[in-house]
Amino acid sequence: MAAIEANALTKSYGQTLALENLSFEVREGEVFGFLGPNGAGKSTTINILLDFIRPTAGEVSVLEMDAQAQSRDIRQRTGVLPEGFETYDRLTGRQHLEFALDSKNADDDPDELVERVGIADAIDKKAGGYSKGMSQRLMLAMALIGEPDLLILDEPSTGLDPNGAREMREIVLEEADRGATIFFSSHIMEQVEAVCDRVGILREGEMVAIDTVEGLRDSVSGGTTLRVSVDRIDNGVVNEIRALPEVSSIRTDESPPSLIVECNGSKTTVLNEIEEQGLEVKDFQTKEASLDEVFRSYTTEARV
């Protein structure tokens, strides 16, 4: 079952296309990372999911309900941490939570909620005095109310220090363990890497890749770099290795003699082939492409 299903979404503002024919699916129970540089259309997509804005064309269903026609029912079962929100300066944290509890007909304990997001000591202070990070935590607490089936978190780490970002990830994982589906957007790959089952990369309003973290790594040429120290360099062998389907490119290095293989498949196959060709493998190192590089390759470089 799909928690979110977007079908050929297009959103244009006059001549500017914010989203172009965007389709994707988020499965029930998964943690889905929605990744893209600023301005790629992440918030536009999320705003459509929540019916803050209406698509120019296409359809979205959330929790198997139409995002426009049944928005209230969707939001009853969804916790949201929106981007670019502001809390009510004149109301305390507790008043915010009571409003959310009222709104959702839920009966969670406000004190437990703030305890969980780490602002217990500020609950009776006016939100006007909160830092950005504290507002972010308060909004997260509001989002957690009533054990939502879906959590939509738009750039949840905004304003959080590294410690806060880690706590945010822990809460995300706890909620996922509870069985909630989590859809969270970010422009920073490493935040997504640690928690997401699958990642979709958005670029200029189009989904350019959607896969598991490993799948994305493998899909980028040079998924793994294998550096093999050998006893000598043999051009014949180099050509044999280059011909392997697992190998996308190979370079050599003279001192110490080594082969640097960009490898998409099984590293063992490559190492075995080197030995079979009569070279002695003295040592080898692998270096996996960081997801950051993967992300960069999808969002900045021209892809072939």
Partner 1 sequence: MSSVNPGSVRAIAKKDFQDAVRSWLFWGLSVFFFFIIVGLGALVGYLEDEFSTEALISILSQSTRLIIPVIAIVLGWKAIAGERESGSIKVLLSLPHSRRDVILGKLLGRSAVLTVSLVIGFLLAGAVVGIMIGSFAIGDFLGLLAISIIYGIAYTSIAVSISSLTRSTTVAAAAGFFVFALFYIIWNIMIIGLDMLRMQGYISGVEYTFTANGNRFQTERLPDWALFINNIDPGNAFANALTLTTEASGLEGAGMVQDRAFADGIPFFLQDWFSFVVLLLWIVLPVVVALLWFDRTDL
The distance of closest approach from Cβ of residue 111 to partner 1 in the complex, given in angstroms and rounded to an integer, is 19
Please say whether the dihedral angle defined by the alpha carbons of residues 142, 148, 151 and 157, taken in this order, is positive or negative: positive
Of 55 and 223, nearer to partner 1 (C-beta) is 55
Of 98 and 283, nearer to partner 1 (C-beta) is 98
Of 181 and 297, nearer to partner 1 (C-beta) is 181
Of 4 and 247, nearer to partner 1 (C-beta) is 4
The distance of closest approach from Cβ of residue 15 to partner 1 in the complex, given in angstroms and rounded to an integer, is 16
**Strand 206-212 with 65-66, pairing:** unpaired
Of 43 and 297, nearer to partner 1 (C-beta) is 43
The distance of closest approach from Cβ of residue 154 to partner 1 in the complex, given in angstroms and rounded to an integer, is 9
Of 54 and 287, nearer to partner 1 (C-beta) is 54
Please tell me the distance from the alpha carbon of residue 127 to that of residue 191, in angstroms, as a whole number: 27
The distance of closest approach from Cβ of residue 75 to partner 1 in the complex, given in angstroms and rounded to an integer, is 4
The distance of closest approach from Cβ of residue 263 to partner 1 in the complex, given in angstroms and rounded to an integer, is 46
Of 43 and 258, nearer to partner 1 (C-beta) is 43
The distance of closest approach from Cβ of residue 143 to partner 1 in the complex, given in angstroms and rounded to an integer, is 7
Applying CB under 8 A, which residues contact partner 1? 47, 50-54, 71-73, 75-76, 80, 82, 84-88, 90-91, 95-96, 99-100, 102-105, 139, 142-143
The distance of closest approach from Cβ of residue 131 to partner 1 in the complex, given in angstroms and rounded to an integer, is 16
Please state the three-class secondary structure of the chain as a single string.
CEEEEEEEEEEEECCEEEEEEEEEEEECCCEEEEECCCCCCHHHHHHHHCCCCCCCEEEEEECCEECCCCHHHHHHCEEEECCCCCCCCCCEHHHHHHHHHHHHCCCCCHHHHHHHHCCHHHCCCEHHHCCHHHHHHHHHHHHCCCCCCEEEEECCCCCCCHHHHHHHHHHHHHHHHHCCEEEEEECCHHHHHCCCCEEEEEECCEEEEEEEHHHHHHHCCCCEEEEEEECCCCHHHHHHHHCCCCEEEEEEECCCCEEEEEECCCHHHHHHHHHHCCCCEEEEEEEECCHHHHHHHHHCCCCC
Of 126 and 296, nearer to partner 1 (C-beta) is 126
The distance of closest approach from Cβ of residue 183 to partner 1 in the complex, given in angstroms and rounded to an integer, is 14
Please tell me the distance from the alpha carbon of residue 123 to that of residue 91, in angstroms, as a whole number: 10
